[in-house]
Amino acid sequence: MEEATNSKHFSVMINDRIADRLEQFSSTVGISESAAVEIAINYFFDDPKVIDGLMKGYREMGSLNRQISNDFSCCEEDADIHLTQYRQRLRNLQ
């Protein structure tokens, strides 16, 4: 693994179970939690099966996502119209 020349700071929210596993792994292996997270992220990005699986899932779900968007776009447009009318009535009351 190449050494990074620059560092960036990221904040991530994880649940208690993951936090406990991270803490246990770090202390068992004798590395910092930041180093353990970096290893996990590099493993994720370097594993072609993971990336291929994600890409396949996005492609398979693409048509369903388009269909859902099409089915509900009229609802969003209708809600936007009602919100605009409501805001105009509020402005008229002021």
Whether residue 35 is found in the same domain as residue 53: no
What backbone torsions phi and psi does residue 31 show, to the nearest 5 degrees? -125, 165
For the chain, what percent of residues have pLDDT higher than 90?
38
pLDDT at 80: 86
- Domain boundaries, position 67: 48-94
pTM of the model: 0.48
Question: Tokens 């119209």 identify what position?
Answer: 81
Chain centroid to CA 93: how far?
A: 41
Domain of residue 21, CATH code: 1.10.1220.10
CA atoms within 13 A on the CB side of 75: 5
pLDDT at 39: 92
Whether residue 41 is found in the same domain as residue 23: yes
pLDDT at 6: 78
Structural domains of the chain, count = 2
Whether residue 91 is found in the same domain as residue 52: yes
Domain for residue 24, yes or no?
Answer: yes
Residues of the chain with pLDDT under 70: 1-4
pLDDT at 75: 82
